[in-house]
Amino acid sequence: MSATFTDAELARLRADFPILSRRVRHDAPLVYLDSGATSQKPRVVLDAERDFYEQHNAAVHRGAHLLAEEATDAYEGARETVARFIGAPAREVVFTRNGTDALNLVAYALSNASAPGALDGVDPELAARLTIGPGDEIVVTQMEHHANLVPWQELCRRTGATLRWVDVTDDGELDLAGLDAVLGEATKVLAFTHVSNVLGTLNDVPTIVAKARAVGALTVLDACQSVPHLPVDVTQLGVDLLAFTGHKLLGPSGVGVLWGRYELLEALPPYVTGGSMIELVRIESSTYAAPPQRFEAGVPMTAQAVGLAAACDYLSAIGMERVAAHDHDLVAHTLAELAKRPWVTVVGPTDPDRRVGAVSFTVDGVHPHDVGQILDDSGVAVRTGHHCAWPLHRFLRVVATTRVSFSVYTTIGEIDAFLAALDRVPAVFGLEAASA
């Protein structure tokens, strides 16, 4: 594994994030451990957005004036940067509003593919893979975020397909033996997460993809929690489509990415229609542009795309291998320290090599919201609740969990500050607990 950051390097890196200098409750320094919900933004990202609006703002792919040319160049340049960050050709990168929008795009495009004439001219074998109806099956997993569950529920409702799912084991891993039992000739899509936003589990993507390919199923990967923490190369992963969001990647809100194999994007019908995504419009009918423009109707989120590209460049300059090594140290330290507190139960894998980015836990006899309030009172920002993963929490037999989640700017010292604040919980709630 690559070397993690020195203290001096991390201090310089943290200086790039203005918000980290804030003081919050009772003049405490901000300890931000909610990056799994949304990350903070370095100055280069803020400056990139500001510079676009101050110097180049115009509608892209429109107009013959200089600003329109500059805006278009900035937008398409951002696409090339993001594509390079995930090892893809630029023409396979579609800008969306966020990861949820990207996953919905796929689900709705697949339901639109069943409309008469939607796949005219598409290779018949590929058209058969993309056409979903009664008797077909969509497979998800029990650890999915709602964004990679509800769109597939709705696809089944619209098409008459059947939703099936893969269970989670007691140690927080996907039940791959159960996956073998669920996948079959009727499976059209297998949608799954790269990293669980609750359990932190790092799923074995190549193995899962190989199982899906063996039955001819398309694979759709939710990479929202992996792309900010790990080197991600779509060629190595082998999936067919992949979604992630900008705001968890040090980038702006309002921009996400769908990557897809070009032959699939070229065959799929659009999700949203209107200006910019058309080839030819007549009063009675229209034809559509080639991907990625086919899936980018209307004036796009250009400033946000530029900001996302700046975030990708920022992380590339650091090196994603080093980012991953830093994340591993944070996860390992958190797991080791929580294990010393018998009144804390961690959910998910206890091996830091099987985890990425986040650690969720419960405290005996105390609701996670109350834990979160104690932490917030000490200036520690965490997430409490079901984290948009309600079915997973039902499986875990807990109403909610408290989650600490990390980013490139998180320090071991912040983890220790969180632990010190957490140690107030037994006294506040009168728990009989061993001291840390």
Mean pLDDT for the stretch of residues 412-430: 96
Residue 63: band (very low, low, confident or very high) from pLDDT cuts 50, 70, 90: confident
Q: Provide the 10 A C-beta neighbour count for residue 399.
A: 14
Q: What is the mean pLDDT of residues 210-233?
A: 98
State the catalytic residue, choosing from 156, 224, 312, 388: 388
pLDDT band at 1 (very low <50, low <70, confident <90, very high): low
Quick one: 309 and 325 in the same domain? no
Residues 246 and 299 in one domain: yes
pLDDT, average across residues 218-223: 98
Domain match, 183 and 254 both:
yes
**In this predicted structure, which of 2-6, 40-44, 45-49 has the lowest mean pLDDT?**
2-6
Within its chain, how far is the Cα of 18 from the centroid?
24
- The verdict on residue 368 lying in a domain is yes
Q: Please check whether residue 42 lies inside any domain of the structure.
A: no
Q: Which of 300, 316, 332 is the last residue of a domain?
A: 316
Q: What's the rounded Cα separation, in Å, for the pair 205 and 219?
A: 10
pLDDT, one tens digit per residue, over 95-149 is 999 999 999 999 999 999 989 999 999 999 999 999 999 999 999 999 999 999 9
Residue 284 has pLDDT above 80, yes or no: yes
**What pairs with residue 242 in β-bridges?**
221, 259
Residue 37 lies in a domain: no
Query: Are 256 and 102 a contacting pair, CB within 8 Å?
Result: yes
The predicted pLDDT at position 16 comes to 98
| DSSP classification of residue 23 | B
**For range 231-255, the mean pLDDT:** 98
137, 232: one domain: yes
Task: Confirm whether 105 is domain-assigned.
Answer: yes
The stretch 39-59 carries a mean pLDDT of 98
For the segment 275-293, the average pLDDT, to the nearest whole number, is 95
Q: What pLDDT score does 62 carry?
A: 83
Predicted local distance difference test score (pLDDT) of residue 433? 47
Could you tell me which residues come within 8 angstroms of residue 163 by beta carbon, excluding any fewer than 6 positions away? 137, 138, 139, 140, 152, 153, 156
DSSP character for 30? Answer: P
CATH code of 203's domain: 3.40.640.10
When pLDDT is averaged across residues 280-300 and rounded to a whole number, the result is: 95
Distance between CA atoms of residues 238 and 222, nearest Å: 13
The pLDDT assigned to 106 comes to 98
> Does position 93 have pLDDT exceeding 50, yes or no?
yes
Tell me the one-letter amino acid at 31: V
Q: Does position 344 have pLDDT exceeding 50, yes or no? A: yes
Domain-terminating residue out of 316, 337, 355: 316
In the residue annotation, 224 being an active-site residue is answered as no
Both 329 and 249 in a single domain? Answer: no
Nearest to 237 by CA among 197, 209, 203: 209
Question: Of 316, 346, 362, which marks where a domain is finished?
Answer: 316
Write the pLDDT tens digit of every residue in 295-330.
999 999 999 999 999 999 999 999 999 999 999 999
Task: Name every residue whose Cβ is closer than 8 Å to that of residue 12 and which is 6 or more positions away in sequence.
Answer: none
Residue 159 C-alpha from the chain's centroid: 26
Inform me whether the pLDDT recorded for 151 exceeds 50: yes
Confidence of residue 434 (pLDDT cuts 50, 70, 90): very low
Specify whether 207 is located in the same domain as 137.
yes
Residue 233 banded pLDDT, cuts 50, 70, 90: very high
Average pLDDT over residues 356-360: 98
Give residue 156's domain range.
Answer: 47-316
- Position 41 in a domain: no
Say if 414 falls within a structural domain. Answer: yes
DSSP designation for 244: E
Domain check: are 276 and 324 in the same one?
Answer: no
**Is residue 434 in a domain?**
no
Residues 6+ apart with CB under 8 A from 67: 56, 57, 58
Please say if the pLDDT value at position 266 is more than 90: yes
User: Does one domain contain both 376 and 279?
Assistant: no
270 in the same domain as 323: no
- Cβ atoms < 10 Å from Cβ of 257: 31
The Cα 370–Cα 180 span in angstroms is 41
Averaged pLDDT, 3-24: 96
Rg for the chain, CA atoms, rounded: 23
For residue 248, how far is the Cα from the chain centroid? Answer: 7
- CATH number of the domain within which 337 lies: 3.90.1150.10
Taking 90 as the threshold, does the pLDDT of residue 430 lie above it? no
User: What average pLDDT does range 340-355 have in this prediction?
Assistant: 97
205 burial type by CB count under 10 A (0-12 exposed, 13-18 middle, 19+ buried): buried
Contact criterion met (CB below 8 Å) for 306 and 283: no
Mean pLDDT, rounded, of the chain = 96
Tokens for 388? 């948009």
Average pLDDT over residues 403-427: 97
Q: Are residues 374 and 407 in the same domain?
A: yes
Number of domains in the chain: 2
CA 122-75-226 angle, 5° bins: 75
The per-residue pLDDT for 398 is 95
Same domain, 401 and 276: no
Q: Per-residue pLDDT for 432 more than 80?
A: no
* pLDDT for the residue numbered 350: 95
The mean per-residue pLDDT over the stretch 210-215 comes to 97
- Asked if residue 312 and residue 255 are part of one domain, the reply reads yes
CB 323 within 8 A of CB 408: yes
Enter the DSSP assignment of 366: B
The answer as to whether 435 is a domain residue is no
